[in-house]
Structure 1
Amino acid sequence: MTGSRRVTAVRTAGGLSLRLDVRAVLVGLLLLALALAAGIALIGSGDYPMTPGEVLAALTGGGNPGQEFIVHDLRLPRVLVGLLVGAAFGISGAVFQTVSRNPLGSPDVLGFAQGSSVGALVVIVYLHGEPFAVAAGAVVGGVATGVAIFLLAWKRGIQGYRFVLVGIGANAMLYALVLYLLTKANIVEATRATTWMTGTLNGRDWDQVGPLTAVCAVLIPLLLLYGRPLRMLEMGDDAAFALGVRVDRLRVIVLLAAVLLVASGTAAAGPISFVALTAPQLARRLTRSPGPNLLPSALMGAVLLVAADFASQRLFGADQLPVGVLTGVLGGGYLLWLLAVERKAGRI
């Protein structure tokens, strides 16, 4: 026992010894159960409500044809996109906050979401692209923004507050560019762009599920492999280097993976605000464990996004309020609270 945390040593068949944080494992299992429960509840909500039993029956092939059509063709893709986007945002937020060693180091605060918005708007306004082209534009815009912020913030390494300040400045400039692009759009393009920029899971289908699943299946395990070096990085560059971590190489790999996850999630559902900011913080408070808490952050992000989408449907009616509006309101309040805490602690 260490304080309120219980750590257990586990020896594998190959003779390797692993440290297992029991509380973190239990929190992870709880978040996984909550994500699945929220997903089932979301599938059962809408103009044609279904009980959890009916949802499970339809998922396993035991429902009537109408229920199976509603579940498999209309609602399941929406839930899967919500879970994947939430997980992508959550784990990306944990990476950014760890690398910057700053709780404000979130993709939506640092301008990555705005970069994706610029890329998508260029495709909508000037190229009149279809949804796939818009998604590709969002990915390109997000990655280009990530590379630019990384290069501008680099000065013999990445210092946390410089990284945050460069990102906030980029966010302001990109937001101005978004407004300029909206002035160049006609009424149809402006409506389409505004709907996308709000962030919504409405109308998601299997076309978004496939590419997003592939990206998450590759990049999330990759980031999990770097969990231990990232934990060492929180102790500072010199300490991490002394422990054998190739600091610069680590930053490039994890930031590139995180940027690709953010850009892919934004391409699938739009720039949904504050999930990447709040999920890692809430996960760390629940696990009470040091380090980036990558897997709990991913699970927390999935829970937050699907639960917010479910709440928006139950409170305001099916598809009446985009989930990005609700997460923006709740996340904005959380950001104000976090700023007050950081100021009280003398860190800003």
Structure 2
Amino acid sequence: MPRVSSTPSVPGVHVARSPGRAWFRVSRPPVSGMVRPRLVLVWLVLAAAAFGAFCVTIAFGSGDFPVPPADVVPALWGSGDFATLFAVRELRLPRAMVALLCGLAFGAAGAIFQSVTRNPLASPDMLGITQGAGAAVAAGLVLGVGGGLSTQSLGLIGALAAGLAMYLLAWNRGTTGYRIVLVGIGISWMCTSLTAYLVSRTETYQAQKILGWIVGNLNDRGWPQARPLALALLVLLPAVLLLGRLQRTLLLGDEVAGGLGTPVQRTRLALLLCGSALAAFATAAAGPVLFVALAAPQIAQRLARTPAPPVTAAALTGAAIVLVSDLISQRLLSDMVLPVGVVTGVLGAPFLLWQLARTNRAGSGG
């Protein structure tokens, strides 16, 4: 049993402690909650890592004008010579901001899907959401579907449609994580096949444009892509955090969660909609950057030692992964800038194989 103690200097405040956790209750206003000191420390470390990667990416991004890392933060606030300000704020900041926001969105989306399905291999790029975006972009460019919409708009529509189709096809007087994963895999392969067919029947220029988008690419990305994604994060992340208590009860199983008063199906639908929307906006901004939504939640969960991937820690982990991968993509080759999805794919494929082997050893990999 946790040891309960009251704080003498603050009347009406009660604290209960156990290894790794602390509960608090305040009488006026009536507020209570639980704090995991290790998780708070992980948040701080990951936030520092993401900010450091953000500054280093701006300092050493593509171009012939290196910026000392110590000058990046002052330049962000408008302090420095003209050349430094131009390189930081005009050339590199917009791309780095898109990378940061995409990483946050993909990491949070992956944590939601893995928690809802209770499957460590569930992520938007495994369940057909990013493939739906790619199929929509291919259909728009090859067949003219969408009436001349931009690739970002087509990608957003395709990802949201794939997420909705996944939920509806998995519905059978309710949904389960097992059915969601199976249906999502089916949708993924259908969309992949459709995209491959459309690419095979189009002209070389259009095919290159489609392939350049569906691999995940931050080249030529800037404020037009960053602003809608930032607004989506401002709306969706607080909604996910408000659903956090109900999300944790789903980990106990549908019957137990229902017995505790959780509206299981409505909660699962709300979480899946939020996760699909996060993945859709991130995909619309930068294309389907592979493996970030798969790896970030698992890394965050192991660092925090929580029963399920923590959403905020997974988002920060995703931001750090995309920023570091983007820096590698810009500096790896001297004569060209690689798509960031190529780097995350190379780094993420071994992680996927390790995760599959680990899941099989645990007896839950089929």
What percentage of aligned pairs have identical amino acids? 43
Q: How far is the alpha carbon of 1:60 from its aligned partner?
A: 1.5
> Which residue number in structure 2 is paired with residue 6 of structure 1?
20
Q: Which runs of 5+ in 2 are unaligned?
A: 4-16
> Relative to structure 1, is the Cα distance of residues 346 and 128 closer, same or farther in structure 2, using a 3 angstrom cutoff?
closer
Counterpart of 1:110 in 2: which secondary structure? coil
Counterpart of 2:169 in structure 1 is 152
Deviation of the 1:318 alpha carbon = 7.6
Equivalent in the alignment of 1:81: 98
Deviates more, 1:238-247 or 1:180-189: 180-189
Deviations 1:140-196 (A, max 9, x none): 111111111111112232222222121112111111100111123212111111111
Q: Check conservation: 2:249, 2:257, Cα contact below 8 A.
A: yes
Residue 161 (structure 1) aligned with residue 161 (structure 2)? no
Is 1:28 aligned with 2:57? Answer: no
Q: What residue is the counterpart of 1:258 in the other structure? A: 275
Q: Does 2:67 correspond to 1:41?
A: no
Residue 221 of structure 2: SS of its match in structure 1?
coil
1:204 Cα deviation after fit: 1.1
Tell me if 1:214 matches 2:228: no
Where do 1:240-255 residues align within 5 Å?
240-255=257-272
Matching of residues 1-348 of structure 1 within 5 Å = 6-12=20-26, 14-45=29-60, 46-47=62-63, 48-127=65-144, 133-317=150-334, 320-347=337-364, 348=366
Of 38-47 and 67-76, deviating more is: 67-76
Tell me by how many angstroms 1:82 deviates: 0.8
The one-letter amino acid paired with 1:300 is T
Distance 1:5 1:170 in 2: 43
Q: 2:9 — aligned with what?
A: none
CA distance in structure 2 between the partners assigned to 1:194 and 1:128 by the alignment: 18
More deviation in 315-324 or 121-130?
A: 121-130
Q: 1:17 to 1:333 in 2, by over 3 A?
A: same
Q: Which moved more, 1:178-187 or 1:312-321?
A: 312-321
What is the one-letter code of the residue matched to 1:267?
A
Moved more, 149-158 or 321-330: 149-158
* TM-score normalised by the chain length of structure 1: 0.95
The answer on whether the counterparts of 2:140 and 2:149 sit within 8 Å (CA) in structure 1 is: no
After superposition, the Cα gap between the structure-2 partners of 1:247 and 1:118, relative to the gap in structure 1 and judged at 3 Å, is same
Measured in 2, the distance between the counterparts of 1:239 and 1:62 equals: 56
Q: Per-residue deviation at 1:72? A: 1.3
Offset from partner CA, 1:302-322 (integer Å, 9 cap, x none):
111111112233333485221
Say which SS state the counterpart of residue 22 (structure 2) adopts.
strand
Deviation at 1:223, TM superposition (A): 0.6
Taking structure 1 as reference, are residues 33 and 16 closer, same or farther at Cα in structure 2, changes over 3 Å only?
same
Number of corresponding residues? 348
Q: Deviations over 1:239-277 (max 9, x none)?
A: 111111111111111111111111110010011001001
* Letter matched to residue 246 of structure 2: P
Question: TM-score, normalised to structure 2's length?
Answer: 0.90
Bigger mean CA deviation after superposition, 288-297 or 219-228: 288-297
Task: For residue 332 of structure 2, give the secondary structure of its aligned residue in structure 1.
Answer: helix
Distance, in Å, in 1 between the alignment partners of 2:202 and 2:242 is 44
SS of the aligned residue for 2:218 comes to coil
2:170, 2:301 → 1: CA distance?
A: 26
Aligned AA (2:36): D
Opposite residue 49 of structure 1, the aligned amino acid is: P
- The 8 Å contact of residues 300 and 309 in structure 2, kept in 1 or not, is answered as no
C-alpha distance in 2 between matches for 1:291 and 1:332 = 22
Distance 1:182 1:120 in 2: 11
Which SS does the other structure have where 1:316 is aligned?
A: coil
1:67 partner letter: T
Amino acid across the alignment from 2:113:
F
